[in-house]
Each structure stands twice: as C-alpha cells, then as structure tokens.
Amino acid sequence: MMNSHAMPAAERKVRVDLGDRSYDILIGPGLIAAAGNEIAARLKGRKVAVITDENVGPRYLEPLMASLKQKEIEAVTLVLPAGEKTKSFEHLIPACEAILGARIERNDAVIALGGGVIGDLTGFAAGIVRRGSRFIQIPTSLLAQVDSSVGGKTGINSPHGKNLIGVFHQPDLVLADTDVLDTLSEREFRAGYAEVAKYGLIDKPDFFAWLEKNWQAVFSGGAARIEAIAVSCQAKADVVAADERENGRRALLNLGHTFGHALEAATQYDSARLVHGEGVSIGMVLAHQFSTRMNLASADDAVRVEAHLRAVGLPTRMGEIPGDLPPAEKLMDAIAQDKKVKGGKLTFILTRGIGQSFVADDVPASEVVNFLREKHPK
C-alpha cells in the first residue's frame, strides 16, 4: 500500500510481554481490512461483540464487519454516543448487556473500535462480564494507538474524577491501523501527539530530539508516523511488562497527567474547551516548570519542552484554555482527588531534565498551590 511518501509503509509488531497473557500490537496501514485474518489466527471462538461510537461507526464498522465475515466470525454491534461523557455507568450497562446478548463465550471476544473513550469503556465491560472476556482493541485515534489501548487499564469516570472506576484487563490483540489517522481532525491528531512526546520526555531524550526534527513527517503520515507510533508502543509495553499494576515505574506514564487531569476536571470534561492530550501538553510543561522551581532541572529544559509543544500547535499554558478556570485552590482539590496521593503527600512525576523523569512521592501541597497561583491566568 503506497502513501504520500512514495515508499510503502511497513507494518510493525510490538510484543507486550506478560507471560501467558502476552499479546501483539500490530501497527501499519490497512489493518481494519485485515482484522478478520488477524483475529481468526489468534482466537478459537467465532463470535464477537463490536462496540463503537457515532463518529467512528459510520466510517469503519462496515469494512471491519466485511473482514470478520470473510473469516465466518459472527458479530453483533453496539453504537454509543461519542465523547468523554460516554465513559459513565449510564453507557457501561448497555455495553455489558450487548456483550451478554451476543452470547460471548470463553473463546469469543469483545472488540473496541474507537478512540480512548470506547477503548476504556469497552475494556471495562469486557473485564467484568463473565468475570473477564477476551478483548481486542482497534484504536482509531493517535492517542488511543500510542497510549490508552496498550497496557490493560480500563474504566469510566465519576463525578469525583477521571478513571476512578475500573479494572486492569489486558487485551488479547491490538490492531493500530495507521490509515485511519488520516481522517482525524488536526486538533485530535495534535492531542494524541502530546502522548508521543511524553515517551521522549519520560526516558528517551534521543526520541524527543528525533521528534523535534521529524514532527512534520509524523503529522504528514507514512514511515515516520509508523516509527513514532511503534517507538511509543514499545516504550509503553516495556513499562507495562515491568510494572503491570502501577506499583512503581508505571507511574512515570502519568508525566503531565496530574496537572492535566485537574484542568480537565476544572473544565467539566468539556471537549470544546480542552481535550485530554491538550491537558497533558499543558501538564507536561507545568511539570517541567515545577521541577525547575524545585531546583531539580534547568529552566532551559522547560523552555525547550514548551517550544516544541507550541511548535506543533498544542496549548502550553492554562491561559490558553477558553473560559474561566477555578482558582488555584480549587485546582489543588482536583489534584488531591487524583489517584496519586499517599498519606497526605502528593505523588508527582517530576524531572531532572529531558528524558529524566522520576516518581516524587513527597511533594508538599503548599509548594504546588503557590506554583499554581503563579501560573494561573488570573
């Protein structure tokens, strides 16, 4: 299959190594059309329940169903509303009922066809129906391909905060079809890119430098895009294999997320104002600036991070979020509610420089509040 760079983009395979629960992430063009083959090769069952949303379904449900049919895999489908608000009990119930209604048995599977919201919700449903059903991720956004579809975290939101209700439930297969990314809005692609940059900032300074030079090629598609996704998936796979349930190292994947989640909560998850990747972008800049404030890292690194994220068109400051934000103290409440608090001390992912992040579990709340007051647009 040819792309705009006039060289065929090769498919890549990343293995998530979890003993008898290991699985493959396939990355490349045309994977939705090949889904039937890939699933039939790995599953004994011949039945699936496909859950998607109103944005993705009209585009990709038909080619997926055709591909399953070729392999005589029976499928029932459920189409849910699109958007962050779908990650709720209100939509979890019909998802569970659809899976039960499809009479999914041990060797059959539940398929999530969509972005992070559908992946998280469907994975949670698959994790609890019959105490755990087989699960396949077909992520259709860049964010889902490099982050949420890998590693088995599933869940829904609560009025108390994001992702507070859920289970760890690893997929049996992830199919990241890079062709579908061409239909994303530029805003969505940029939001996903924030998570790509994050892997460089965690512990891959060379990858971050590569992105600074090659981000335009990643945006335009082809080999550079597949490379960026493969490096991101491998980075996440390595962390998950070392610390599946986030007792230590896996927490590094939350770089920028503690601030980012607080900002998402402050905007009531209104995607017109802020989407997850944009919150992460601002959050990563804040994490580097806060690390500078705590005398851990050079101010030059924070400047460099902000410059790169700004160059790709991501927001990097709280003042860029449309509408009013609650005061610093209220943002602090959201941070304290985030699931990274132990014994009154805050756990943050801080950094000693580009690609040198670490888990700091003794950050004084007073320092964070003062910092937020300084950075607050008011």
Tell me which residues are annotated as active site. 131, 153, 195, 236, 246, 250, 254, 257, 261, 276
CA angle, residues 312, 260, 219, in degrees to nearest 5: 20
Distance CA 120, CA 84 (A): 10
Distance CA 268, CA 274 (A): 9
**Nearest C-alpha neighbor of 124 from the set 167, 78, 82, 85:** 167
Give, to the nearest 10 degrees, the angle between helix 328-337 and helix 257-266: 120
Element (H, E) at 76: strand 74-80
CA distance 300 to 306: 10
Sequence-separated (6 or more) residues with CB below 8 Å from residue 300: none
What is the CB neighbour count within 10 angstroms for residue 105? 14
Residue 377 neighbours by CB under 8 Å, 6+ apart:
317, 318, 319, 325
Cα–Cα distance for residue pair 215/225, rounded to 1 Å: 9
DSSP 153: B
Q: Which two tokens stand for residue 174?
A: 């992830």
Round to whole Å and give the CA distance between 277 and 270: 13
For the record, the structure tokens of 309 come out as 């994220």
- The Cα–Cα gap between 61 and 182 comes to 17
Assigned token pair, 372: 């937020």
- Here the tokens at position 361 are 């579990």
Q: Are 203 and 356 in contact (CB under 8 A)?
A: yes
Q: What is the CA radius of gyration of the chain?
A: 20
Under the phi-then-psi rule, with left for phi > 0, alpha for psi from -120 to 50, and beta for the rest, what region is 179?
A: alpha
Q: How far apart are CA 367 and CA 378, in angstroms?
A: 18
